[in-house]
Amino acid sequence: MGALCQRMTEDLKLKNYAESTKREYLRCAQRFAVHYMRSPAEMGEREIRDFLLALAFQEAKPATLKMYVASLKFLYAVTLRRPEEVVALPWPKVPQRLPDILSGTEVDALLGAIEPLLHRAVVMTAYGSGLRIREACSLRTEDIDAKRHLIHVRDGKRGRDRFVMLPERLQAFLREYWRQVRPPKPYLFPGAKPHRPITPGAVRTVLQKAVRKTGLKKHVTLHALRHAFATHLLETGTDLRVIQALLGHRSMRSTVRYTHVSPQYVGRVDSPLDLLGTKKGRVLG
């Protein structure tokens, strides 16, 4: 795509998109160009629809199709300034499946199986404070406020900062981690190059080894630990609005879904059937 790729990169930068989103948008746009061996500037709605239909016939996952649609909408509406080419492009419907939720015992076993110490510290921080893995990997030493028992999450999703709790067990573990590892500043969890943070990919690899070691049969990912954090808070009586703030959700709709995955929460709800003919059921008429 040449100059057009550079312009799209600059537009994504000006919009302050996350690095992972920028990479995916550019990858999708470049594949679109390669598919036709032409510049997107020379094409329009017909080529876009045919390309997406080809992906659909190849049984691309709905989430994959959605990423291509988002990328091409950005390319034409923002970079090429031809929004009319993509305005009628439908968004693929992505099925909303309930994630597997780890129990407290399973999380404890998993944390104990993670080696080395650096990777265990990252995963324990992600679960203990409900962080996205990128947020956990990017923490700096000054983000840990031991006196106030808080972690300062900087530049979270959509560029928002927030504070989350620093659990006592995590604080004690980080002290031991610090004593043994002595990570060089600025990052709390340095990567192969000390001036750069550890990558989410490196942590994922170690996590999957721990999953095999513990014999867990559930679908376990780093994001599954964030789901577990939210669900466990709900099950122990934490208000949904507090959970929303801790997770950094912009909308309560994102948080409410945890009421659907918590058996304990669902089990505490009275069915109207049990209320019929009772004093509490009088409100039913």
Q: What's the pTM?
A: 0.73
Please report which confidence band the pLDDT of residue 238 belongs to, taking 50, 70 and 90 as the band edges: confident
The answer to whether position 248 is within a domain reads yes
Looking at 223, 241, 250, 260, which residue is catalytic?
A: 223
Looking at the structure, tell me whether residues 139 and 26 fall in a common domain: no
Report the length, in residues, of the chain.
285
The answer to whether position 143 is within a domain reads yes
Looking at the structure, tell me whether residues 14 and 69 fall in a common domain: yes
Q: Which amino acid is at 123?
A: V
Respond yes or no: is residue 149 known to be catalytic: no
Looking at the structure, tell me whether residues 117 and 222 fall in a common domain: yes
- Residue 268 scores a pLDDT above 70: no
Looking at the structure, tell me whether residues 148 and 72 fall in a common domain: no
* Residue 246, pLDDT score: 87
What is the C-alpha separation between 64 and 55, in angstroms, rounded? 9
Cβ atoms of 79 and 41 closer than 8 Å: no
Respond yes or no: is residue 223 known to be catalytic: yes
Looking at the structure, tell me whether residues 78 and 109 fall in a common domain: no
Other Cβ atoms less than 10 A from the Cβ of 4: the count is 17
Looking at the structure, tell me whether residues 117 and 172 fall in a common domain: yes
Residues 46-78: pLDDT tens digits?
Answer: 999 999 999 999 989 999 999 999 999 999 999
Looking at the structure, tell me whether residues 188 and 65 fall in a common domain: no
* Residue 263, pLDDT score: 59
* CATH code assigned at 78: 1.10.150.130
Respond yes or no: is residue 249 known to be catalytic: yes
Q: What is the mean pLDDT of residues 14-20?
A: 88
The answer to whether position 92 is within a domain reads no
* Residue 78, pLDDT score: 97
Q: Which residues contact residue 9 at a Cβ distance below 8 angstroms, ignoring those fewer than 6 apart?
A: 22, 26
What is the C-alpha separation between 42 and 21, in angstroms, rounded? 25
Looking at 73, 134, 226, 227, which residue is catalytic?
A: 226
* Residue 181, pLDDT score: 93
Looking at the structure, tell me whether residues 165 and 114 fall in a common domain: yes
Structural domain span for residue 152: 104-266
Query: CA 125, 217, 258, 262 torsion: positive or negative?
Result: negative
Buried b (16+ CB within 10 A) or exposed e, 169-202: ebeebbeebeeeeebeeebbbbeeeeeebbebeb
Percent of the chain with pLDDT over 70: 92
Looking at the structure, tell me whether residues 182 and 247 fall in a common domain: yes
Beta strands (DSSP E) in the chain are: 144-145, 150-153, 162-165
Q: Answer with the residue of higher pLDDT: 272 or 49.
A: 49
How many structural domains does the chain have? 2
The answer to whether position 141 is within a domain reads yes
* Residue 67, pLDDT score: 97
Looking at the structure, tell me whether residues 132 and 17 fall in a common domain: no
3-state secondary structure of 189: coil
- Residue 176 scores a pLDDT above 60: yes
Looking at the structure, tell me whether residues 250 and 113 fall in a common domain: yes
Respond yes or no: is residue 213 known to be catalytic: no
